[in-house]
A and B are shown apart, each in its own frame.
Chain A
Amino acid sequence: MDVRLTAEQRQLRDAAAGLADDLGPGSVLDLDDAERTGRLEKAVGATGWRALRSDGASGVEVALVVEEFGRRLVDVPLLGPVLADDLAPGISSATVAVDGRARDTRGMRRALSVEGDRVMSAEIGPLVPGTDLTRHAAELRGTPEQIGTLSDEAAVRWRALAVVATSADLLGTARGAHTLARDYARIREQYGRTIGSYQAVAHLLAEALALVEGSVSVLRHAAWAVDELPPAEALRAARIAKLYCARAARTVCETAVQVHGGTGNTWECLAHVHLRRALTSTDLFPVRLEEIDRGLS
């Protein structure tokens, strides 16, 4: 047993982190900067990461890139296209649809979904206003048409990948919110001292970091399991990871709001952009507590 990342995996993570640091939104105002999103789109397109799966990447590698994009609130599609590419290898400009709605749609043309053993594709229609300020949802246009079939096993494995990918986004956005709050706690002063010097604030941030670390561990197993365990077991691992990461991300983002005080409750603070992204990823391929069965190790 050795559950460390390989050298190649660390390199991939660093590359994704570098791109996200350079071109992700650094403020709420940046979200409306079309010039930045244009450059971001170009850079992401050039990496080929939307086709990670058809390039033979493992669930672990998908999770690493998605996490880094979540951390810096990358606001061009990745998660949706990666899942679409897993369903229809090599397909371009495609994302996924869930519950009759296309997700992660910016610049995408089609949305794929799974119905029983059939892979369906539909054109993407008008945007629907949503909670997430970094990833858009849209209506579907016309009736979806079948473009392929999936075995039961493949469908369950795909579901596991989807649950893992959304969990990775949760971990990333939580990590980003934590960094935002930690940085603020180091500079904001009240009563002549930085607020981070008060134990009440420091402990909130320490707890949040522990939640992030727990998320890393549970997610790493689930991401590995996508390709290495029988589909049912992979899905079980993914569900555990999703529940943990979702709960942790919510708490960490709430902590980030709290540490920012009054400012944290305003639109201009990035904390709620993280929180909104976390809530959206929680609802995408959701897992209910009732789905955790007794058959666990």
Chain B
Amino acid sequence: MDFRDSPEEAAFRDRLRAWLTEHADAFPTAGDAYWARQGEWHRALHAAGFFGLSWPAQYGGHDLPPVYDVILDEELARAGAPARPSLGYLVQGLGRHGGEELRSRFLPGMIDGTERWCQGFSEPGAGSDLASLTTTATRDGDTYVVHGHKIWTSYSDVADWCLLLARTDPAAPRHKGISAFIVAMAQPGVEQKPLKMMSGVSREFGQVFLDGATVPADQMVGAPGEGWALAMTVVGHEREPSTLGFTARYGKLVRELVDHTPGDTLPPEVAWAVVETEMLRLHVRRRLSEQLDGVSHGPEGSLDKLLMTWTEQTVGHAALAVGGAGDPDLLHAYLYSRAQSVMGGTSQIQKNIIAARILGLGA
């Protein structure tokens, strides 16, 4: 065991730090301003060689060991830069379930940020109970025709592509009749409407109305009926702070809160935020190190999701303690923290999974 950087890791960290001294301040880190330039930030980070670190080089990644993502997140936090774009779960979903043709067509643009993506899983009636989704895709020659309504779709306003779940076999049992598709957002059958978050941010997520949208049959990801398996891969990764890179955001905010506080002693809320954030940083180091053994993703992701949620919400409460209701940025950080116990599967659902699948307490 060694918590220190290897010489290669240290050299990488130095290069990254040097790049960040020049570029960290150039991009907004929160709110609509962040979303407006998120694509630019993505492309800049990738062009400099600091994004997609552990992904295959053939698709624009760097084939580095997973722990490099920790270094990236730590340095982003330290420099006060925006967090890395969180789309690792889509890379994993497409990488694991898509054939080589789809992978080589779509992964490079996804990874280098020249093509933007959204995830069309949830529907008004199918949130926690995702398998009850009712969007349909019906085969018509070489294409599928899609009808349905997706909601809370992050980045839908800028997305070129949507990784969409739709029912292809209404007669099959509910988990078996779902398939996944890569649907072009820019077409007549797709309408996208932004949703305003309770923080007032209006560019984070939206609704997607599909009314006769078409998708070539060869843009089905995996086999017919493989949609549920793909969804489980995606949400599994969506629950991991190591995939999302949110620790950079927490680390940055906690630094700001500490700087905000005069004197030597921190208010208890801020001190707790420091402790929780440090726990999560070290938890990610441990989890990513375990991946060196090829430990695969299972229900443990739900534990990670809870830890991440508690950390973010502790940081949110610290922001509130420092800024009260009157500081717009800190209030925004607090309000945004409330979404963490909902997105990617609610905390209640994570606890159900932990109880049933790890503890063996299922009904």
What residue of chain B has the Cβ atom nearest to residue A258's Cβ?
B341
Which of these binds chain A: B64-72, B140-148, B181-189, B346-354?
B346-354
**A272 & B335 in contact (Cβ 8 Å cutoff):** yes
**A267 & B196 in contact (Cβ 8 Å cutoff):** yes
**B342 & A266 in contact (Cβ 8 Å cutoff):** no
Assembled-state Cα–Cα distance A254/B340 (Å) = 12
* CB contacts between A and B, total, < 8 Å: 74
**B338 & A257 in contact (Cβ 8 Å cutoff):** yes
Assembled-state Cα–Cα distance A263/B206 (Å) = 12
Show the binding face of A for B, using Cβ within 8 Å: 130-132, 190-192, 198, 200-201, 254, 257-258, 261-262, 264-269, 271-272, 275-276, 279-280, 282-283, 286
What residue of chain B has the Cβ atom nearest to residue A128's Cβ?
B326
Residues of A within 8 A of B132 (CB): 190-191
**B325 & A265 in contact (Cβ 8 Å cutoff):** no
Q: List 20 A-B contacts (CB under 8 A).
A: A130-B325, A131-B325, A131-B326, A131-B331, A190-B127, A191-B132, A198-B348, A258-B338, A258-B341, A261-B127, A262-B122, A262-B342, A265-B152, A265-B342, A267-B197, A271-B198, A272-B335, A275-B198, A282-B325, A283-B324
Assembled-state Cα–Cα distance A280/B326 (Å) = 8
**A268 & B331 in contact (Cβ 8 Å cutoff):** no
Residues of B within 8 A of A280 (CB): 325
Residues of A within 8 A of B196 (CB): 266-268
Asked if B339 CB lies within 8 Å of chain A CBs, one says: yes
B287 to chain A, nearest CB (A): 25
Asked if B298 CB lies within 8 Å of chain A CBs, one says: no
Asked if B162 CB lies within 8 Å of chain A CBs, one says: no
**A269 & B198 in contact (Cβ 8 Å cutoff):** yes
A-B contacts besides A267-B195, A279-B320, 8 pairs, CB < 8 Å? A261-B342, A262-B342, A264-B198, A264-B342, A265-B152, A266-B196, A267-B198, A271-B198
Assembled-state Cα–Cα distance A33/B132 (Å) = 37
Asked if B151 CB lies within 8 Å of chain A CBs, one says: yes
If the complex has contacts A200-B348, A283-B324, are A262 and B200 also in contact, measured as CB distance less than 8 A? Answer: no
Choose one: A131, A200, A262; the contact of B127 (CB below 8 Å). Answer: A262
Hey, what's the 0/1 contact readout for B320-342 against A, CB within 8 Å counting as 1? 10001110000100010011011
**A258 & B324 in contact (Cβ 8 Å cutoff):** no
Assembled-state Cα–Cα distance A132/B341 (Å) = 23
Asked if B128 CB lies within 8 Å of chain A CBs, one says: yes
Residues of A within 8 A of B122 (CB): 262
If the complex has contacts A201-B348, A262-B122, are A283 and B198 also in contact, measured as CB distance less than 8 A? Answer: no
Choose one: B200, B325, B343, B347; the contact of A267 (CB below 8 Å). Answer: B200
